[in-house]
Amino acid sequence: DAGVTQSPTHLIKTRGQHVTLRCSPISGHKSVSWYQQVLGQGPQFIFQYYEKEERGRGNFPDRFSARQFPNYSSELNVNALLLGDSALYLCASSPRGGTEAFFGQGTRLTVV
């Protein structure tokens, strides 16, 4: 079975631009979460979606937004990019009734 897939794997953007990151969860998983991992640190929770509704939001500015589609895939959008947004963005999916989160390989975003 395919795991969590994210696209693109790498991305370079200029300050002030907008970026969209995509995630496809494991088949049958209805919950998707997004995390930001800055070099040398553990992942930080950004958003969680379940059944297309936002169920949780971390301490991130309103420039960050996300949505989940009917097929349970998800997009993370970041507006007005800052240098400090450079990080590995991870998507994780979880099964209904389970608490384990399974991560994709991440999207490496570099803002210049």
Binding residues (CB under 8 A) for another protein: these are: 4, 31-33, 35, 41-45, 48, 50-51, 55-56, 59, 90, 92-106, 108
What tokens does 78 get?
Answer: 């970041």
Q: How far is CA 69 from CA 20, 23, 54, in A?
A: 14, 10, 12
27 vs 79 by CB, closer to another protein? 27
Cβ atoms of 8 and 91 closer than 8 Å:
no
- Closest to another protein by CB, 53 or 62: 53
Least distance (Å) between residue 60 CB and another protein:
13
Q: How far is the CB of 73 from another protein (least distance, A)?
A: 15
- Supply the Cα-derived Rg of the chain in whole angstroms: 13
Rounded Cα–Cα distance for residues 66 and 47 (Å): 7
Q: How far is the CB of 53 from another protein (least distance, A)?
A: 8
